A and B are shown apart, each in its own frame.
Chain A
Amino acid sequence: MSTLLEELMQERVRPETEHRILICGGIPCRSLGCRKVQEALDEELQQKGLAGQIPVDVIGCIGDCSQGPSIIVYPEGIVYQKLGPDDARTIVREHIIGGRVVEELLHRDPHSEEIIRKREEMPFYREQTRLVLRNCGVISPHIDDYLKYRGYAALARALAEMTPEEVIDEIKKSGLRGRGGGGFPTGRKWELVHQAHGDEKYVICNADEGDPGAFMDRSILEGDPHSVLEGMIIAGYAVGASRGYIYVRAEYPVALRRCREAIAQAREKKFLGGNILEKGFSFDIEIRTGAGAFVCGEETALISSLHGTRGDPEPKPPFPAQKGLWGKPTLINNVETLANIPLIILHGSHRFTELGTERSPGTKVFALAGKVRHTGLVEVPLGTTLRRIIFDIGGGIPGNKKFKAAQTGGPSGGCLGEEALDIPMDYDSLQEAGSMVGSGGLIILDEDTCMVDLARFYLDFSQDESCGKCTPCRVGSKRLLEILQKITEGKGEERDLETLEQLALLMKNSSLCGLGRAAPNPLLNTLRLFREEYLAHIRERRCPAGVCRSLMRPRINPEICKACGICSRICPSQAITGARGTPYKIDLEKCSDCLRCLEECPFDAITRGGRRLAEAEAMDR
């Protein structure tokens, strides 16, 4: 046995003992200015002559992104959040040099007023079960860190102690289901590829993550790319492939870079390439980038895209497992699915099935976003309730607003209303509730969200992303969108709802690929749960949430207007014209919705969304 192999097989994690600063470089933190914080840190360390002595590493998303920019200072593991450049300097002076934790900069729990020093103490993390994200925000994406935390030990175990069949068996026993959206049993898929005949086979890691509002896969690739590589190599070993591809969307430049670096590091350490760990198994990985097409997340479209052409979905069967990339048997798995693999191999499927539900074992990472206090990545056992995620982990809805619905599964999923807060979030229960786990996007909506507009938004997305190949999706989605547009503009008719339903069912029933089949889901789902909102738009020409612009614009009621001209004089956009004796008129093209006219009209002749000032204000709160 090679020494490296021996070393890897030892059950030992080597924690940090020295001073070290990890700074979150996840996209949200970047967008909140982590770069400046990093510059300040570097500068200060330089000035204090500590440059080079205290390692500063940029890591992937820690998780609690809305509190960014964040850093972690080791060996204590103190987390500082919401930092500015000056705070960073203070930390260097006081904590690194002075050895004193900077209490003032620590996070204070808004409810309990408790000071939080470490990740584990925050409710946001405390309530989570971070397995897939075990390394994210804990270590740097570098292979050396990964090795410290038992990285590649699972690979060593698989190669040294298990046959491919045994690996597949272990995955099958774990009950792991695809995290890319379909929930197909992963072990079964591996078995199909393993059994398929082909002189060559491929493993593809689907990192296209097109669902707008989801960023789990990105965070894993940025924070812990090696866990995905390790999963892919094990998959390659199990199904008999010697080549793998990671298909990353081009909108993720950092993930792309981290993957490149990780592959180079793994090659250097001989985890990739010929004769891995001297076990006679060879495998290598290439990266391919997408170019902005949601449908390329669909597996057959992804393969078309890898062929260098349009992302045209193809009919299934034949499935990629039989005829995939270059016509060869191909295994396609999602990033998170693959990141689960090392865990299962290392700790055994029996440990994995302890978590989650019987038919949906393990954990799931959700990208919590929208109208919730703590947005970010949340990993919980499947079967956890929505209530727990939103209120215990996410800290509830900000601004004292009421929870209205949670959108899961992105444009292919659906909404869960208030009555669904306590159903377990697993593949089957969500399906029953008319939604889906999907890729893990979880967008929280409060009372200010118009569900008709949301359905319109998703159809707009799906229509725009439709590849245009098949009739029901190319034309059907356009027609659905047009009708919804009409309704949000206050031009809907009641029979439109029937047309919507019929057409949506046709799309669901007859489209070529998953995009078209799932595109009507948000519509069907909101139509069922929030029908009265649709009816309000149609019957009363009213948008109860106050979102649909054409229904919310100021209008002068000619019967009340006394033609005093006050509004015309105060309108900053010169949108109101008129003459003595005739009611004044608003040119909505010019109007900027400042609503001053509403306030100023002495006769309350101006309404908004059909309502007078007081009502409108009550709605705006």
Chain B
Amino acid sequence: MLPQDQPGIMPGAGKKGNPVPTTGVQEKKLYERLTQALEKYKGKPGVLIAALQEAQEIFGYLPRKAMIHVANELTIPLAEVYSVASFYSLFSTVPAGKTRLEVCMGTACYVKGAEKLLQELQKQCGGSPGKFTSEGRFSVATTRCVGACSAAPVIKIGEELHGEMSPEKLPALLEELTKI
């Protein structure tokens, strides 16, 4: 019988650790917010993904220290926290640029020319594909199907979707975004 199936076996665990060192009032406040947000998850099983989602909402990404904070507060091994954070593609461990442009690379979009769109967008905004980069006004990334396949190809900007895109429509779109 495997240990995880045996009654009474205790897996590795953390402990309520020291608070992570913070610099500045701003950062301290964010961590206080995180502490509060984590309160409802304490002692409950299966909550790590939800906890990380909240942390990412607070910081915009998952800084190392925030992950340590989650591990400390929920007494989960940090390895577990990182394991989950590095597995799910919606978690980002690097900060992103101000405006995130995500080109859908789902099949429907791909066959309708998403690749070209992406290249064009990168040419106009800079950055490298795959992950957001912190430089610049825009960060360009790819995403998987957002479920608007009939309007392919699609670009996602924050929560907004822009369907039936083409390289020709890009300058106008970027123009509009820069205005905001």
Contact = CB atoms under 8 A, between A and B. Distances in A.
Contact of A212 (B52, B106, B123): B106
A288 B150 CA distance: 27
A291 B53 contact: yes
A49 interface: no
- Of residues A27, A29, A66, which shows the largest number of chain B Cβ atoms within 10 Å of its Cβ? A27
Contact of A31 (B107, B143, B148): B148
Interface string B20-55: 000000000000000000000000011111101100
B107 A311 contact: no
Contacts of B48: 308-309
Interface string A293-327: 11000000000011111110000000000000011
Contacts of B163: 28, 31-32
Nearest to A63: B150
Given A369-B152, A370-B111, A251 B146 contact: yes
Interface stretch (B87-95, B131-139, B172-180): B87-95
Contact of A375 (B50, B89, B150): B150
Contacts of A66: 150-151
Contact of A443 (B46, B88, B108, B154): B108
Report, as a range, how many residues of chain B touch the other chain.
35 or more
Given A308-B46, A308-B84, A212 B152 contact: no
A68 B107 contact: no
A252 interface: yes
A211 B147 CA distance: 10
A458 B106 CA distance: 9
B58 interface: no
Contact of A213 (B5, B52, B106, B123): B106
Contacts of B105: 212
B88 A369 contact: no
B126 to A, nearest CB: 15
Given A251-B147, A369-B150, A375-B150, A445 B87 contact: no
A294 B47 CA distance: 20
A592 B110 CA distance: 20
B45 A292 contact: no
Contact of A369 (B53, B144, B149): B149
Contacts of A218: 147
Nearest to A222: B147
Interface string B66-110: 000000000000001001100111110000000000000111101
B108 A213 contact: yes
Contacts of A567: none
B87 A293 contact: yes
B89 A292 contact: yes
Contacts of A310: 83-84, 87-88
B10 to A, nearest CB: 16
A150 B83 CA distance: 46
A369 B150 CA distance: 5
Interface string A231-257: 000000000000000000011110000
Report, as a range, how many residues of chain A touch the other chain.
35 or more
B16 interface: no
A175 interface: no
Given A305-B49, A310-B87, A212 B144 contact: yes
B168 interface: no
A556 interface: no
A397 B151 CA distance: 15
A467 B87 contact: yes
A441 interface: yes
Interface string A200-242: 0000000001111111001100000000000000000000000
Nearest to B52: A291
Given A27-B147, A28-B163, A441 B88 contact: no
B161 interface: yes
Contacts of B162: 31
Contacts of B91: 291-292
B57 to A, nearest CB: 12
A410 interface: yes
A327 B161 CA distance: 40
Nearest to B159: A253
B122 to A, nearest CB: 12
Given A293-B89, A311-B87, A210 B144 contact: yes
Contacts of B111: 370-371, 443, 445, 449, 454
A24 to B, nearest CB: 12
A292 B53 CA distance: 11
Given A31-B154, A209-B147, A290 B88 contact: yes
A457 B152 contact: no
Contact of A294 (B45, B110, B144): B144
- Of residues A210, A215, A219, which shows the largest number of chain B Cβ atoms within 10 Å of its Cβ? A215
A30 interface: yes
A209 B87 CA distance: 18
A600 B83 CA distance: 56
Contacts of B112: 370-371
A367 interface: yes
Given A32-B163, A309-B83, A311-B87, A252 B108 contact: no
A81 to B, nearest CB: 13
Interface in A49-98: 65-66, 68
A309 B80 contact: yes
Interface in A267-306: 288-294, 305-306
Contact of B149 (A292, A367, A449): A367
A293 B5 CA distance: 26
A210 B89 CA distance: 12
Nearest to A30: B161
A461 B105 CA distance: 9
B145 interface: yes
Nearest to A443: B107
Given A66-B150, A213-B149, 5 more contacts: A213-B107, A292-B144, A309-B48, A310-B87, A376-B150
22 contacts: A28-B163, A30-B161, A31-B151, A212-B144, A212-B145, A213-B106, A213-B108, A253-B159, A292-B91, A306-B46, A308-B48, A308-B84, A311-B88, A367-B149, A367-B150, A369-B107, A369-B149, A375-B152, A445-B111, A449-B111, A458-B107, A592-B123
Interface of A: 27-32, 65-66, 68, 209-215, 218-219, 250-253, 288-294, 305-311, 326-327, 367-371, 375-376, 407, 410-411, 441, 443, 445, 449, 454, 457-458, 461, 467, 592
4 residue pairs, one from A and one from B, having the closest CB atoms: A31-B163, A212-B106, A291-B88, A375-B150
